[in-house]
Structures are given as C-alpha cells and as structure tokens.
Amino acid sequence: MKDAAVKSILACFAHPDDELGVGPLVSRAVAEGAQATLICATDGDVGTVDEKYLRGYDSIAALRLAELACASSAIGFTEVVTFGYRDSGMMGSADNAAPGSLWQAPLDEVTARVEEVMRRARPQVVITFNTYGAYGHPDHIKIHQATVAAFQRLQAEPDGPRALYYTTGPRRLARAAVMVLRLLGRDPRHLGRNKDVDIVAAVAAMTPITTRVAVAGYLAGTEKALRCHASQISFPPLLDLPRRALAPLIQRQTTLSRAYPAPRRGEPTERDIFA
C-alpha cells in the first residue's frame, strides 16, 4: 500500500500530446513532491505526419511514442503507462471501426486496465476528459468512460482516489469563439480537416470551472514538451514569438472542473487539488 502522505496524481488521456493540457499543473505538483502517473491509451498512429519527421522511425506510432517520452519527461511525469490501442479517428471514419482501436475495445477491458494502474499508483487525484471528450473524439470519450468507471470501483477502498477532475476552460471564451467563427462565415458545427468537429456541442458539454491552480512559475516544462511534439504542433516564426511572450499571461492558471466530490452551491473556487 502506498504511503498516504505521498501526494499522487493520475492523468488519463487518449493520445500523445493530450498531456500538454495539464503540463504546468503536473510540473508544479511534482516540484512540490508529488508523484504523477500518465496513462496514454493509444499510440496516436492515425495522426497526420510530415515525411520529414519519420526519418529514423519505422512507423507513425514509434515516432509519436518517442515524442510522448520526450514530452512527459520534460513535464516531469514520474511514470508513463501506454495501453497500445490503435488511434480510432473521429466518429464515422474508417479508423473508428478498425479492429484494435480504442473505440472498438470493450469498455470493461479498458476499465480493468485503468483500474490496475489506479490500484497500483493509488492517486488521491484523477484527471481526465469530460463526457464529450473535449471535442467529441471517440478515444477521448472512451478513456473518460473507463476512468470514471475505474474511479467508482475503487471508491469503497480505504486508500481509493479522493477526487475526480475534468479538463475544462472558460465557457464564456468558448462561446465567443463560436460567435467569431459564425461572423467569419465558418460553420462551428463542421470544423477541422474533415469537417467532423462540432464546437457547438463541445461548448454545450463543458462543465464549470471549480478549480484554478496557479502555475505561472511552472510553464517551462510544458513549453519544452510542446516542442517534443513537433510532428503534430508547430507555429510559424511570426506567430511563435508573440505566443511565447503571451504564454505567461494566458497560462497563469490551470483550470479544472471537479466531478467528484460534486461542488456545493456557493463553494469558493478551489486552489489546491490536494486540499
């Protein structure tokens, strides 16, 4: 049994680079003595990759797992667990129906694998996507379902996890983005390369911010981690400089939505996930 005095976080996500959203939070927690375990359920092998990034790798999966190892080390995760499922792609795509994909895996199977990690790592805090998987990606939804199920199974145990959080952001800002898209003549229900991302549904599924953790002094690791995921994330030089200059102002806090224990009406904003 893990020492109850040791603070521990379990972050449950679907793809390499999903971990960036909680990077500063994890960096701070680890710097303050916590352990942090990351579950990455797929190898990200359906992601689009420029040929130049594949030099030295025999597959997209090998490349993206190497990027994940680089990024998770930069952030400070003390353990990374990969499940090796195939990336499912978006709803209705051929990849979504592929054997071996996360979406096609039995929920009980995925839940059992999350539960095994949860039982061993004994986190007090668990973080995952919301019910819609942030923007409707099937893999995000599946890891959400498995994480919640595993969390509930361990609730009755004396050293089971105490708190479950969903990643979230300012709903008002998201609604404003939908308005801007419409003003620009873009359909917010059909975005992305394949027009299969519904931002309106994503905004509707957002849960309120209950928790704001100050992370202004812990952004360097996530900036380095972002560079690790070069095959998926890049910025033109003219945009990168202002982005890096504004990051300390925009990313001063990591925001979360506490799903369990359910927030009480009038409860003040939480500042410490281990409180």
Annotated domain spans of the chain: 8-169+208-260, 170-205
Question: Is pLDDT above 70 for 211?
Answer: yes
Over range 215-241, report the average pLDDT: 89
C-alpha closest to that of 119 among 19, 274, 34, 2: 2
Q: Of residues 127 and 48, which shows the higher confidence score?
A: 127
Q: What is the pTM of this model?
A: 0.93
22 touches 64 (CB < 8 A): no
Q: For the chain, state the CA radius of gyration.
A: 18
| pLDDT-based confidence at residue 105 (cuts at 50, 70, 90) | very high
Q: Is the peptide bond before 16 cis (omega within 30 degrees of 0)?
A: no
Tell me the mean pLDDT in the region 224-249. 84
If one compares 198 and 218, the residue with the highest pLDDT of the two is 218
Q: pLDDT value at position 160?
A: 93
Both tokens assigned to 233: 């994330």
Average pLDDT over residues 44-61: 90
Confidence of residue 28 (pLDDT cuts 50, 70, 90): very high
Residue 247 in this model has a pLDDT that exceeds 80: no
Q: Which pLDDT value is given to residue 11?
A: 98
Q: Out of 3.40.50.720, 3.40.50.11540, 3.40.50.10320, 3.40.50.300, which CATH number does the structure's domain 8-169+208-260 have? A: 3.40.50.10320
Across 66-70, 156-160, 208-212, least confident range: 156-160
Q: Is the pLDDT of residue 149 over 60?
A: yes
**What's the CA gap between 188 and 209, in Å, rounded?**
23
pLDDT mean over 166-187: 87
Per-chain mean pLDDT for the chain:
92
